[in-house]
Amino acid sequence: MMTLFPPIKPFADGLIDVGDGHRLYWEQVGRADGTTVLFLHGGPGAGCSERHRQLFDPAHYRAVLFDQRGAGRSLPFGELSANSTPHLIADIEALREHLKIERWLVVGGSWGSTLALAYAQTHPERVIGLILRGVFLGRDSEVDWFMHRMGDFQPEAREAFLSIIPEAERGDLLSAYYARLTDPDRDVRVAAARAWAGFEDACATLLPQPASQGADAVAYSIARLEAHYFVNRLFLADAPLLDNMAKIAHLPAVVVQGRYDLVCPPVSAWELAQAWPKAELVVVPDAGHSLWEPGILDATLAALERCKALA
């Protein structure tokens, strides 16, 4: 079983102005002359943590991490305006150019896998390979699963999720939540965010774990941004990811998927691998969705080890 690398501090960090009033926090860890890897966090809205830095062997990789619009240390926090998948793809390119990077390995989990695929399909010449975990393809069926069917496996958590929404509004649960997450009253927004993030937390691991999204600040950005992206069909309706696989068919990839992932069911990872001959699908038999489950973490670290051969 592989383990995280020791805690590490960035050798460079900063804020980049990407326009529309947004400034993005970025940082680099590891070797300044190492193989460059871009890490894309989930959510949208989750932001990066210090523990994410420890995924990357500092003796080999130059790891670039950044908080996407509205998330983490980026400003303004929780902002929905000018926040879409095309904006984020443009942000990645702006950051790449700012840091004078030619090409990089792209790593992303959950929503990060969605963004990684969308970015690679837009700029395949900038990518040397991908490592994806807990695949989410941004399809209507996946959003419907999250909102209406995921709770079948966590009925207690679903009951709490539904409890703040009157029965008359539960037929369109996403709209009901979105209305509350964008309500002028901050208390209404925070209460909805707590319920949304708590539900997702409860479904994210195979075995119960301490809540990771319980802090109001993190729950706030995750819930608002996820609902915003869901309402707008992940800003992918005109370019479904599976329809554009020919653009990245030449790129190598490792796809790590928990067998019992409730948040992003394995069918999406399987369908992606079927459409991508150069992708290796690694199904972890005793894990759910979270990166931090032992089997998922081990498979992700092993993929990073194998990808050291890429240049």
Pick the closest to residue 65 from 42, 84, 37 (CA basis): 37
- Tally helices (H) and strands (E) across the chain: 10, 8
**Residue 163 CB coordination number (10 Å):** 8
SS3 labels along 27-47: EEEECCCCEEEEEECCCCCCC
**Residue 149 CB coordination number (10 Å):** 13
Active site residues: 110, 261, 289
**Residue 278 CB coordination number (10 Å):** 13
Pick the closest to residue 46 from 109, 107, 106 (CA basis): 109
Q: Which residues contact 132 (CB under 8 A, 6 or more apart)?
A: 107, 108, 109, 112, 113, 116, 117, 253, 254, 255, 256, 269, 272
21: left (phi over 0), alpha (psi -120 to 50) or beta: left
Whether cis (ω within 30° of 0) applies to the bond prior to 44 is yes
